[in-house]
Amino acid sequence: MKKYFVIGLGNFGFNIARALEENGCEVLGMDIDRELVQRAKDFISHAIIGNASDREVLESLAISDFDGAIISIGQDMAASILIALYLKEIGMQKIIVRAISEDHGKILTLIGVDTVVFPERDMAIRLASKLALKNAMDYLPLTEEYGILEVVPPKSFINKSLKELKLSTRFGCQVIGLKYYANGNYNDVTEKNAQIKIAPTADDVVTEHSVMVVIGKLSDIERLQNAD
């Protein structure tokens, strides 16, 4: 079982901790706010009150054998940098920090943090890209040029097999999944309504109430979405 140390149990930290626990990990959560710690106790293995920017507090915990630490302490940039530095010196294997600005992220990278995340910025970019792309249900960026999109198929694709559509030849894209919606309601993702087939075969057919999960260059996927 993997073990993670989550510092800061506000919305981001709490949801990370809870998701890790739900995925079979053991989680130790820490915050200086008693109410946040109390809320987390119902969802994670251990939740304690403490000031992680105090090196002695960190050294008093048996965390050197943890698989990683996630630091998410709101707007306190100086404290998150200090905590990251202490954790590296203590011997934490992997350190992930939520950054609040580009400069904050640069400093964290310079001191050797493994992963710097910008949740608000990344979500804004993802949402904007999703809204800008025609017929895009969801969007996962891979690089600046490539991504994975859930695409409502153009009308000309309906009732045709992937073999007939020849998407890789015509558009340079690959269909890595097909989602079938029984009632045409794309917001209803219950098992009864939505069925997904990963790695569909060439004989699988794009139906009226289906969504294609497509990987490729964004410009190529856009050409696919505009197909007649």
- How confident is the model over 159-185, as a mean pLDDT? 89
Radius of gyration of the chain (CA): 22
Tens digits of residue pLDDT in 6-64 = 999 998 999 999 999 999 999 999 999 999 999 999 999 999 999 999 999 999 998 88
Better pLDDT: 42 or 145:
42
211 with 159: CB under 8 angstroms?
A: no
Whether pLDDT at 127 is above 90 = no
Phi and psi angles of residue 169, each rounded to the nearest 5 degrees, phi first: -75, -45
pLDDT of 44? 95
Alpha helices in the chain (DSSP H): 11-22, 34-40, 55-59, 77-90, 102-110, 119-132, 162-165, 167-171, 218-225
| Residue 74 DSSP SS3 | coil
What DSSP state is assigned to residue 194? E
148 with 139: CB under 8 angstroms?
A: yes
pLDDT of 172? 93
Tokens 């057919």 sit at which residue? Answer: 205
pLDDT of 93? 87
Determine how many CB atoms are found less than 10 A away from the CB of residue 46: 14
Closest among 94, 93, 97 to 83, alpha carbons compared: 97
Q: What is the rounded distance in angstroms from the CA atom of residue 39 to the CA atom of residue 133?
A: 39
Per mean pLDDT, which range of 38-47, 135-144, 167-176, 213-222 is the poorest? 135-144
Tens digits of residue pLDDT in 67-107 = 999 999 878 889 999 999 999 999 998 999 999 888 999 99
Domains of the chain plus CATH, in order, are 3-117 (3.40.50.720), 123-225 (3.30.70.1450)
Q: What is the rounded distance in angstroms from the CA atom of residue 121 to the CA atom of residue 67?
A: 26
Q: What is the rounded distance in angstroms from the CA atom of residue 112 to the CA atom of residue 5?
A: 18
Q: What is the rounded distance in angstroms from the CA atom of residue 45 to the CA atom of residue 29?
A: 8
